[in-house]
Amino acid sequence: MPKVLIVDDEPFIRLLLEQTLEDLEDEGVELITADNGETALQIIRDEMPEIVFLDVMMPKMNGFDVCNTVKNELGINGVYIVLLTAKGQEFDRQKGIDVGADIYMTKPFNPDEVLDKAKQVLGL
């Protein structure tokens, strides 16, 4: 069963992403959520989701550090990471790319873009 991990410390944003992606559940995709970077990293190690929508500014471990750990320290290549953040500066975007993010999306995000990206990565 394909898995999508949604990581954000803001409950409203997690809910919005879940609602945006809930149609994927009809296609056999499991939606998993986490509210901090440490939990997200553990879920990525244990569950190996195909795609992760990852907030940058979070408690315990930020999204840049989670992404860097997954892509560069652990060398997990089968996980597509979308950094979602309110930080839209070119410096932040470049940092996201440098730590291994597959794509960098700024908030507020377009729900259709999020769903389309998930479908594309999952091959749906």
Q: How does pLDDT run across 31-41, given as a tens digit for each residue?
A: 999 999 999 99
Q: Is the pLDDT of residue 92 over 90?
A: no
- Residue 53 binned pLDDT confidence (cut-offs 50, 70, 90): very high
Q: Is the pLDDT of residue 87 over 90?
A: no
**Which pLDDT score, from 0 to 100, does residue 89 have?**
82
Number of domains in the chain: 1
The Cα-based distances of 91 to 15, 96, 98, 102, 109 in angstroms read: 28, 9, 10, 16, 19
How far, in Å, CA of 102 to CA of 97, rounded? 7
Q: Is the pLDDT of residue 110 over 80?
A: yes
How far, in Å, CA of 94 to CA of 18, rounded? 27
Residue 7: which domain range?
Answer: 3-122
**What letter represents residue 42's amino acid?**
Q
**What is the pLDDT of the chain when averaged over all its residues?**
95
Other C-beta atoms closer than 10 Å to the C-beta of 73 total 10
CATH number at residue 50: 3.40.50.2300
**Which pLDDT score, from 0 to 100, does residue 18 have?**
97
How far, in Å, CA of 90 to CA of 13, rounded? 23
> ∠ CA 85-123-9 to the nearest 5 degrees?
25
**E strands, 1-124, where?**
3-7, 30-34, 51-55, 80-85, 103-106
Q: Is the pLDDT of residue 77 over 90?
A: no
